[in-house]
Structure formats: structure tokens, C-alpha cells
Amino acid sequence: MFSRLIGNDVTKLTLRRLIHQDRLPNSLLFIGPDGVGKKQFAIETARTLFCRQRVGDEACGVCSSCVRTGTFSPPTSEKKDDYKRIHFSENPDLGFVVPFKRNILVDAIRVLELEANFNPYEAPARVFIVDDADLMNDAAANALLKTLEEPPVTTHIILVTSRPDVLLPTIHSRCQKIHFAPVERKAIEKYLIEERAFSHDEARLAAGVAHGSIGRAVEIDVGEYRGMRERAVRVLRSALIDGDRAALLKISEELNDAKNADNFEANLGVLESVVRDVWRLACGVETAKLLDPEMADTYLRFAEQAAAARFAEWLGEIEDLRKALSVNINKKVATDSLFLTMAAGKR
Ligand SMILES: [Zn+2]
């Protein structure tokens, strides 16, 4: 049921109304940040369309159609050929295009084109979900254009993406766009406590640093996060207060040793969250509005050490390092350089 999904209440209302009034467009593009539940909304759209005994404008959630529509096991095969087709949920009217190694294969889109023309098996409509639609190359996208332009009346194609700028303008122009926003922190917090057995403290921290992504929030291991945060705090203390370059180089070594290498990006993300909070305090934001309010006292001390502009520069440097990770850089050298730049403004 839409009411069970977290956040994006306006979008929820829009979709329910469109389905209820029988006006759901046949080509849809769901746009929004990662981890806010776009794919869940797409599945719920199919479920509501298919449900045999809707309750108001909601799927009942218990009829055979509802149960089967919501049951989908993504393929785990390593064989390319297995991704040249549509994967169906237990309801043969809901199909998914699944990427192979971060590529949506043109063959899968060709099969989608065929399938889109078939009548529904049992439901009043068929729905095809292309998650991470930005993983279509031009050939795949072009193969989809015709179907998007004139889909059969009983077929709905839902493209889902967090990188809409990567999609061809011709895809955009053929779809009705449905926008998703980051999920409110309070809603994530409530979900973590009620559905994921987080303690209040843990939920507050995870919801704060998840930047509106439920997907990210549920994956945060709070104990591990606090460990990474402790290290990030040492970086700021050494750079801002002690001016201790040797200590910084030692932390850089730690981050890049065999034990921590796999967590390099996660550590960088935590450092970024910490600097972001300090920067916000330096800009005059109230402590209650921090991503991580439990650290307010420590962060206030840091914020007093420099102007907001310096912390903004650090955020830029961290972002540059993050981008550089996609090419094969020497992480140790890059981390040394980041930390020494952070210490350089020390008066
Ligand atoms: Zn139902």
C-alpha cells in the first residue's frame, strides 16, 4: 500500500489519484535521489493497478495478485545471456529490465518492445520497470523510443533514475515525469525504530547522516560509523587545533592500510559529513539542525577555529578526491595531500 511507503507524500497522492481516475500515463519517468524508494513506488503503482479488491485508491495488499506482484527475486546469474530478457515478478504482468554489469543490454529493450505489445495475462494492464534507466547506452535508449512514443493502452513503462541528466532528451520528452525528494529525517528515524529495531539514539544518528536516503540509512552500522567519526574528528583536531602534520600523515596511513582500504570511500563520506556539520555551525546554523547533533559540542569548538569559507574549501577538496577515485589514483598520496591542505590554513 502506498500508505506503507516512507516519505514523498505528495508524489504518493499524485500516483494514487492518477491510478484511481484511470489516467496513469503509459510512459513514466521517476526521478529522484538514490535510496528514496523510487523503485518501491513503481512496484506499488503496478500493484495498485492490478489489485482485484482495492481499498479506496489503495491496493489491498492481501489478494493473490497483490502478493505475487510484490514478489520478485532479482537474477543472480553471471551470464550475459540471462540479461537479454525481461525478468518477471511472480505476476507475469509485472516485468523488470535488469542491467548486466552496469549496462542495460539493447537485447533486453528489444524484448521489452515485443512484450509491451502483448495483452495482459490476468491483470487489467502490464507494467515494465526499467530501474537505473540511465544505464541504457544510446543503442538501448533508441530502441526504447518507439515504444515510449506509442505504448499500447494496456502497457505502462516506468523508467527509474537518479541521474536524469544522463538520459537522452528524446527519452525525457516522451515520458511524464514524477519527481521524488529526499525523505524527511523524522520519517526515516521513525521507520528505523519501528521497522528495523534501531534504538532511538542509533536511529537519530543514522537518519541524520543518511542525507534523506532510506537505502543508505538502513545500511549504516552505527557502531562502525562512530569509529569512523572518531577518526574524522582526529583529522579536524590535528588540522585545526594542534597543527600536527605528523599526526595527519599517520591517520592517512591508517586509512590506506590493508585493514581499512575497503572502507576508504565510507571513511571519506564520514569525514565529509563531519566537515559539513562544522561548516554549517560556522555559518550560524543551530546545533539541533546538525546532521549529527550528538557531536555538537566538539563541532562547535572546531567551528570557532576558522571562517566558514575555509570549511567550504575543504568540502570542495573532499569532493575532488571522491571524483578522482573513479580513475586509478594513488589514494595514499591523495589523502596526504588533502590532509596537508586542510592543515595549511592553520594560523
Ligand atoms: Zn489486492
Q: How far is the CA of 65 from the centre of ligand 1 (A)?
A: 6
Q: How far is the CA of 152 from the centre of ligand 1 (A)?
A: 24
Q: How far is the CA of 77 from the centre of ligand 1 (A)?
A: 31
pLDDT digits (tens, 9 = 90+) for 34-71: 999 999 999 999 999 999 999 989 999 999 999 999 89
pLDDT digits (tens, 9 = 90+) for 67-114: 999 899 889 999 999 999 999 999 999 999 999 999 999 999 999 999
Q: How far is the CA of 39 from the centre of ligand 1 (A)?
A: 19
Q: At which of 120, 155, 181 does a domain end?
A: 181
Q: How far is the CA of 71 from the centre of ligand 1 (A)?
A: 13
Distance CA 281, CA 299 (A): 8
Question: Which residues, listed in sequence order, are joined to residue 103 by a DSSP beta bridge?
Answer: 100
Does residue 189 lie within any of the structural domains?
no
pLDDT digits (tens, 9 = 90+) for 149-184: 988 999 999 999 999 999 999 999 999 999 999 999
pLDDT digits (tens, 9 = 90+) for 110-150: 999 999 999 999 999 999 999 999 999 999 999 999 899 98
Strands laid side by side in the 87-88 sheet? 87-88, 94-97, 126-130, 155-161, 27-31, 176-179
Residue 151 and residue 262 share a domain: no
**Which amino acid, residue 337?**
S
Counting every residue written for the chain, the total comes to 347
Does residue 188 lie within any of the structural domains?
no
Q: How far is the CA of 54 from the centre of ligand 1 (A)?
A: 6
Does residue 301 lie within any of the structural domains?
yes
Q: How far is the CA of 37 from the centre of ligand 1 (A)?
A: 20
Residue 232 and residue 163 share a domain: no
pLDDT of residue 144: 95
Residue 244 and residue 169 share a domain: no
Q: How far is the CA of 3 from the centre of ligand 1 (A)?
A: 14
Give the residue-averaged pLDDT of 173-201.
94
Residue 11 phi, psi (nearest 5):
-60, -40
Q: Are 240 and 278 in contact (CB under 8 A)?
A: no
Distance CA 100, CA 78 (A): 8
Per the structure, the count of domains in the chain is 2
**CATH code of the domain in which 292 resides:** 1.20.272.10
Q: How far is the CA of 68 from the centre of ligand 1 (A)?
A: 10
Cα separation values, 150 from 32, 108, 115, 295, 310, Å: 25, 19, 14, 55, 53
pLDDT of residue 300: 96
- Does residue 329 have a pLDDT over 90? no
Does residue 18 lie within any of the structural domains?
yes
Distance CA 267, CA 331 (A): 12
Distance CA 325, CA 323 (A): 5
pLDDT of residue 347: 45
Does residue 261 lie within any of the structural domains?
yes
Q: How far is the CA of 53 from the centre of ligand 1 (A)?
A: 5
Helix (H) or strand (E) holding 176: strand 176-179
Q: At which of 181, 207, 234 does a domain end?
A: 181
Residue 64 phi, psi (nearest 5):
-60, -40
Give the range of the structural domain holding residue 97, as residue numbers without chain letter: 2-181
Q: Are 246 and 306 in contact (CB under 8 A)?
A: no
Distance CA 207, CA 198 (A): 11
Buried b (16+ CB within 10 A) or exposed e, 162-201: bebeebeeebeebbeebebebbebebbbebbbeeeebeee
Does residue 201 lie within any of the structural domains?
no
**CATH code of the domain in which 167 resides:** 3.40.50.300
Closest CA relative to residue 243, chosen from 342, 141, 311? 342
Residue 155: strand, helix, or coil: strand
Residue 161: strand, helix, or coil: strand
Grid coordinates of 312: 567550504
Q: At which of 157, 181, 205 does a domain end?
A: 181
Grid coordinates of 299: 563541532
Q: How far is the CA of 64 from the centre of ligand 1 (A)?
A: 7
Residue 258: strand, helix, or coil: coil
> Who surrounds ion ligand 1 at CB < 5 A?
51, 59-60, 63, 66
pLDDT digits (tens, 9 = 90+) for 260-314: 888 898 899 999 999 999 999 999 999 988 988 889 999 999 999 999 999 999 9
Q: How far is the CA of 130 from the centre of ligand 1 (A)?
A: 23
Does residue 117 lie within any of the structural domains?
yes
pLDDT of residue 346: 53
Residue 255 and residue 173 share a domain: no
- Does residue 325 have a pLDDT over 90? no
